[in-house]
Amino acid sequence: MHFYDRVYETTMRIPCGRVTTYGAIADFLALGSARMVGWALNQSHQSGLEIPAHRVVNRKGELSGRHHFPGENVMQERLEAEGIVVVDNKVKDFEKLLWIPADHLL
DNA sequence: GTCTTGACTTCGG
DNA sequence: GCCGAAGCCAAGA
């Protein structure tokens, strides 16, 4: 069990239409650094698993990882398909849509 | 073994 | 608010 396995599970727990941040996941899993989350998600595509990585954005709500998707606009399209509005490469009402793993953990 | 590179974040200016 | 530097830790060279 590597830390990125927990990153995958946490990412898949993000509800439809919600987003979270690398820092929130890193803090929830006590990874020590948010870069590990991005690195783990970067490896996710080669793990064979389908991770909704489009729901993970940086602390500003920007789609910083869209360049790592098959298409440059795939990330935004997937978010919009879930009802999330993306403006200027950022999630609209980001603070409202932000989903914190620990907050939903009972 | 060291050094560089990140889908990041925080702090100082 | 933005910009630069530092901290962070795993992987690959």
Domain boundaries along the sequence of chain A: 3-97
Instruction: Identify the pLDDT of residue A1.
Output: 64
Helices (H), chain A: 3-12, 22-28, 35-44, 74-81, 94-97, 101-104
Q: Write down the mean pLDDT value for chain A.
A: 93
Q: Is the CB of A31 under 7 A from strand C?
A: yes
Q: Provide, in whole angstroms, the distance separating residue A35's CA from nucleotide B11's C1'.
A: 18
Distance CA A89, CA A35 (A): 20
Residue type present at position A48: G
Residue whose C-alpha is closest to residue A7's, from A42, A17, A18: A42
Q: Is the CB of A73 under 7 A from strand C?
A: no
Nucleotide nearest to A4 (CA to C1'): C10
Percentage of chain A modeled with pLDDT above 90? 84
Is domain A3-97 classified as CATH 1.10.10.10?
A: yes
Instruction: Identify the pLDDT of residue A54.
Output: 96
Nucleotide nearest to A69 (CA to C1'): B7
Report CA A52 to chain centroid distance, whole Å. 7
